[in-house]
């Protein structure tokens, strides 16, 4: 009868046993055994909580000079003030300001596809049309471009907020009223929320306008944000 080995029993085969069975170098065997013993320790600190932080959803602002802080420091513009308000209220969003001075609805439509692909925004704020109106473009052109931008945004899975605007009175009541109505018509047809007049309480106050009479001053920017916020705020949780 074979006698059991004296001393404690180990679950690891000895280097001698491996040498006899496999003909491997003892140092290699010891290295393999050491690796097996260390693997649990190497993974001990990894837990389910060691996951990458969540990427905050994106608010994409697609606008013209009114959102690009024309004539101002960029930090004083209403879009930058929006970023500050979001942080103050603990709302984790990343704001991408894709506004370009002088842009039109046609330009925004051209740029939107790449912006949607690059940033995958959960919410797109469209602030375009002022330069179309200042050029006296037809309402159908403006309406079609705005509608196509909204549809592309929806197709990409983004929620949309549209902002309207009132032109200076020197364009005549017929055109200024028809221009502002375009935004209401598009918002209703596409079922998107609307800021009726981005510059409400600003454009009619010359103390809040720059010398050109078209662009708001730095002092006007908080008021512009206050015009946007009541319509934007309800969308924030639903777009996350």
Residue 212 annotated in active site: yes
CB 195 within 8 A of CB 227: yes
Catalytic residue among 64, 99, 122, 215: 215
Residue 49 exposure: Cα atoms within 13 Å on the Cβ side: 2
pLDDT at 83: 97
pLDDT tens digits, one per residue of 148-190: 999 999 999 999 999 999 999 999 999 999 999 999 999 999 9
Q: Which residues pair with 63 in a beta bridge?
A: 127
In order, the DSSP letters of 62-123 are EE-TTTTTTTS-GGGSHHHHHHHHHHHTT---EEEE---TT--HHHHHHHHHHHHHHH--SE
Catalytic residue among 65, 67, 122, 158: 65
Query: What is the rounded radius of gyration, in angstroms, for the C-alpha atoms of the chain?
Result: 31
Catalytic residue among 27, 50, 212, 238: 212
What percent of the chain shows pLDDT beyond 90? Answer: 74
CB 167 within 8 A of CB 142: no
First-to-last alpha carbon distance for the chain, in angstroms, is 74
Give the mean model confidence (pLDDT) for residues 38-56. Answer: 60
Q: Per-residue pLDDT for 29 more than 60?
A: no
pLDDT at 11: 43
Q: Which domains does the chain have, with CATH numbers?
A: 58-238 (3.40.50.1110)
pLDDT at 183: 98
Give the mean model confidence (pLDDT) for residues 26-49. Answer: 55
Q: Which residues pair with 160 in a beta bridge?
A: 124
Rounded Cα distance between 10 and 44, Å, is 23
Q: Per-residue pLDDT for 51 more than 80?
A: no
pLDDT at 237: 72
**Mean pLDDT of the chain, nearest integer:** 86
CB 155 within 8 A of CB 117: no
Q: Per-residue pLDDT for 99 more than 70?
A: yes
Residue 80 annotated in active site: no
Q: Please give the C-alpha separations between residue 155 and each of 116, 117, 149, 234, in angstroms, as whole numbers.
A: 10, 12, 10, 21
Residue 215 annotated in active site: yes
């Amino acid at each position: 009868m074979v006698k059991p080995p004296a001393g404690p029993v180990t679950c690891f085969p000895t280097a001698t046993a491996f040498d006899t069975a496999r003909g491997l170098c003892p140092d290699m065997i010891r290295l393999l055994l050491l690796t097996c013993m260390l693997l649990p320790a190497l993974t001990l600190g990894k837990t389910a909580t060691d996951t990458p932080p969540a990427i905050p959803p994106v608010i994409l602002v697609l606008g013209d000079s009114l959102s690009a802080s024309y004539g101002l420091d960029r930090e004083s513009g209403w879009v930058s003030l929006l970023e500050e308000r979001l942080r103050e209220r603990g709302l984790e969003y990343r704001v991408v300001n894709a506004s370009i001075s002088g842009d039109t609805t046609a330009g925004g439509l051209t740029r939107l596809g790449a912006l949607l692909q690059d940033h995958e925004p959960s919410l797109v704020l469209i602030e375009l049309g002022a330069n179309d109106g200042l050029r006296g473009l037809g309402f159908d052109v403006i309406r079609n471009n705005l509608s196509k931008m909204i549809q592309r945004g929806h197709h990409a899975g983004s929620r949309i907020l549209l902002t309207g605007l009132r032109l200076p009175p020197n364009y005549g009541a017929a055109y200024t009223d028809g221009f502002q109505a375009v935004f209401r018509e598009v918002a209703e047809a596409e079922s998107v929320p609307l800021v009726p007049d981005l510059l409400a309480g600003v454009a009619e106050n010359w103390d809040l306008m720059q010398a050109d009479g078209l662009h708001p001053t730095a002092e006007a920017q908080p008021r512009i944000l206050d015009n946007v916020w009541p319509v934007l705020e309800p969308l924030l949780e639903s777009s996350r």
